[in-house]
Amino acid sequence: MHFSIPDTQELKDENGSSYVAYNIHVNGAFHCSVRYKQLHNLHEQLKKEFGSAALPPFPPKKLLPLTPSQTEERRCFLEKYIQLASQDVRICSDEVFTGFLLSAQQETQGVSPQQVDLDVFLMSWQKVTVRVCSTDPTRLVTEAVARTIGLPLDLVCYFALFLVKKADTDITIQRRLENFEAPHLSLASAGPGHCLVVRKSYWDSGWDRALLDDRVALNLGYVQALSDLDRGWVLAPKETQRQLAALQAKGSKREYLQLACTLKYYGYLQFAPCHCDYPQPDTRVLISAGGRELNFRLALAQDQVKEVSFRVTRIRCWRITTAVGEEVNGEGHTQQRLELSFEYLMSKNKLQWVTVVSSQAILLSVCLQGMVGELLLKKQGASRPGHPGGLSHPKAGRRGSWSFLRRDGSGYQISVSRSASSDGIVQDAREDSKPRPRDFPKRLTDGKRGTSLTSPKATMENDAFEGIGDDDL
């Protein structure tokens, strides 16, 4: 996952006093605004659970009010802290960490838990409406969808909820929802034109075999294959297209899926056209991720298209770079230029950096991380998909509760339920369920950062490939 704190807000509480809030973004999307003392409280609770040695240094408290330069320095330290802490799978999947982010999202949007009807779509655009709590995390909502459509709970791990932007018949995958966010709140924050869809959660098409013997799981895989073929994300020769059409007409979903999985780009995620510096600067490219590779279709001179495969096992490391530009329309919103750079083993002794400039660079990074994680999981003998911090149930024997500190300094206990049907995070029933007054923003971004150029402070490095081994190089 990619965490960042690109900017701050100056907020006023209900008494008119000003304070600084730090805007946390996860996987490229704004998630919540929190105060320093809230992150410090999180750090103290994580320290009790994992010990100081497992955590990065936390920026110290200051006795006097911070100057603008000190606020910027603290922002950088907090960003580095959450980036380093989240790289530890134990911490990132811990109930304290995920519960903090879930509670902070709820507080930021100023909502109280209430029953809502949430629309989720299959890739056939069949609508599934589920009755959930507005603050239910992703796993609970996914399980509610599974129960509604009749998907066995032991097959839920093969699927996930994705936030999609839909314009007419075109769709753009924005991101996969994580368990530290509430789908209802994330959808509301995304704004008009967005919806939630169910898609397969894994990259290895060999795991499709687990879906073939269940009617509902088979249908989910089938409608996704239909959709991806229709959009040109999967390529099929004319003769294969005729065979697929015949199988579709007969309703032979199992045979259709078995044939589809032999096609080029099956199980891949296709990105919007963008630019890269390979083989030369400003080369237009269409990227697809899947099959343990990043597939580049490069638009060369004279309308030529060259296909290049960058194998996941030959990518030594990668990083995201964010360049923050001028404010847009004078409203405090800034334009960002996102780049994904990866170091690739071109030949035995030649490593070369390749840079992609794309608004979907963070999603591309998350896909890379997902493929690496899945590769390592299979090497450990896993027979089904797994997702740290995602849809796995809380471990038994967990401590009974932890606390969430609000912006105003008040707090409440969060109970950790050991029920398999619970998300493991339940607000203490003694807590007042009335919505709390929202703070009032004075400005949306720190204007002093709005004109900055590319900064290494905004760069995330990921060495997740360490330990894969040299056999594939």
Per-residue pLDDT at 440: 40
Structure-token match 């609000």, residue found: 406
Per-residue pLDDT at 326: 52
Per-residue pLDDT at 466: 45
- Encode pLDDT of 428-466 as tens digits: 433 443 444 444 443 334 433 433 333 333 343 434 444
pTM summary value: 0.84
In 3D space, the residue among 471, 469, 460 whose CA is nearest the CA of residue 86 turns out to be: 460
Model confidence at 211: pLDDT above 70: yes
Burial of 89 (0-12, 13-18, 19+ CB in 10 A): exposed
Per-residue pLDDT at 437: 41
Q: Where in the chain is the domain with CATH 3.30.1520.10?
A: 3-110
Any idea which of 44-48, 79-83, 313-317, 409-413 has the lowest mean pLDDT? 409-413
462 CB neighbour count, 10 Å cutoff = 19
Max CA separation in the chain (angstroms): 74
DSSP class of residue 450 equals T
Contact between 8 and 24 under an 8 Å Cβ cutoff? The reply is no
pLDDT band at residue 334 using 50, 70 and 90 as cut-offs = low
Cα 138 to the chain's mean position, in Å?
A: 12
In 3D space, the residue among 449, 451, 443, 447 whose CA is nearest the CA of residue 10 turns out to be: 443
Per-residue pLDDT at 126: 96
DSSP class of residue 473 equals -
pLDDT band at residue 353 using 50, 70 and 90 as cut-offs = very high
Token pair listed for 261: 């999985």
- Encode pLDDT of 158-182 as tens digits: 999 999 999 888 889 999 999 999 9
pLDDT band at residue 418 using 50, 70 and 90 as cut-offs = very low
Spatial distance between the Cα atoms of 197 and 180, rounded to a whole number of angstroms: 18
Tell me the pLDDT of the chain averaged across its residues. Answer: 84
Per-residue pLDDT at 335: 62
Q: For helices 253-260 and 238-250, give the axis angle rounded to 10 degrees.
A: 160
pLDDT band at residue 16 using 50, 70 and 90 as cut-offs = confident
Model confidence at 416: pLDDT above 80: no
Q: Where in the chain is the domain with CATH 3.10.20.90?
A: 112-201
Per-residue pLDDT at 459: 40
What mean pLDDT is predicted for residues 204-210? 92
What mean pLDDT is predicted for residues 420-425? 37
What mean pLDDT is predicted for residues 114-134? 97
Spatial distance between the Cα atoms of 169 and 343, rounded to a whole number of angstroms: 36
Pick the CATH number of 112-201 from 3.40.50.620, 3.40.50.720, 3.40.140.10, 3.10.20.90: 3.10.20.90
Pick the CATH number of 3-110 from 3.30.2290.10, 3.50.50.60, 3.30.1520.10, 3.50.40.10: 3.30.1520.10
For a pLDDT cut of 70, what percent of the chain falls above it? 81
Per-residue pLDDT at 421: 33
Q: Where in the chain is the domain with CATH 2.30.29.30?
A: 268-325+335-384
Model confidence at 122: pLDDT above 50: yes
How is domain 268-325+335-384 classified at the CATH fold level? PH-domain like (2.30.29)
392 CB neighbour count, 10 Å cutoff = 13
The correct answer on CATH 1.20.80.60 for the domain covering 205-264 is yes
Q: Which residue has the higher pLDDT, 28 or 148?
A: 148
Sequence-ordered list of residues with C-beta below 8 angstroms from that of 88, at least 6 positions apart, any chain: 50, 54
Whether cis (ω within 30° of 0) applies to the bond prior to 279 is yes
Sequence-ordered list of residues with C-beta below 8 angstroms from that of 343, at least 6 positions apart, any chain: 315, 316, 317, 318, 351, 352, 353
For a pLDDT cut of 90, what percent of the chain falls above it? 66
Per-residue pLDDT at 1: 81
Burial of 198 (0-12, 13-18, 19+ CB in 10 A): buried
pLDDT band at residue 301 using 50, 70 and 90 as cut-offs = confident
Q: Is 57 helix (H, G, I), strand (E, B) or coil?
A: coil
